[in-house]
Structure 1
Amino acid sequence: MRLLTGSSPSSPKDSFHFLPQSVFAFGSTVLVEGYDKESSVSWVHAWTVADGIITQLREYLNTSLTVTRFGLSQPISSPAVASSSQPSSANKCQSVWQSQLSDKSAPGLVLAL
């Protein structure tokens, strides 16, 4: 954190380079993935963007990230269908994106949107 905020004196061995290798956007979410070869660190940023401004940033280091969208499998067409008696099997998780640069032995994480 000290390195990212600039409160630590930087030396070549302490430097970390955020060079994006892939960018994927859907809706208000932007996923940026990269790998710092010198530090052997893979990273993923998940940005939430509103009116061209990043309003939220989530950062994941050395983690295999899978992004899923959780929702109804079919659109709700009437108030009767939207009642609490709707079967839970109508809910589903749809995989939207998966990191490619993380080490296969890295812990996995699912980010549900």
Structure 2
Amino acid sequence: MRYILPLLLLASPAVAADLATGDAIRAAISGNTVSGSMSASGAYGEFYAADGTIRAADYTGTWAVKGDKMCFTYGQDPENCWSVAITGSHVVWMSETGEEGHGSIKPGNPGGW
């Protein structure tokens, strides 16, 4: 058990260091689709249009980069903002408590939404 704590402490700074800047988030996500899964809501696939709209198979919303976070609004729900770790085409959505979901970036709008 005494070896677990040092490993966790070493892992935490690496995650924080891997978080994308606002410019990097915008460059990777704008005009592309992300498909994956969120811990709270399950599978998703969303196209993030350059005009700030989100289009999916059966819903819409809006997105914006604020500081170094990506923020989402769906219908009347309050805005939610996430830090983002991006490695190649892989995205990890992070809250203050850790990973909340993940996905893969696909160029353009292959779903035709």
TM-score category of the 2 structures, normalised to the smaller one: under 0.3
TM-score of the two chains, using structure 2 as the length reference: 0.27
Q: Higher helix fraction: Structure 1 or Structure 2?
A: 2
TM-score by length of 1: 0.27
Q: Which has the larger radius of gyration?
A: 1
Tell me: higher relative CO, structure 1 or 2? Use CA pairs within 8 A at least 6 residues apart: 2
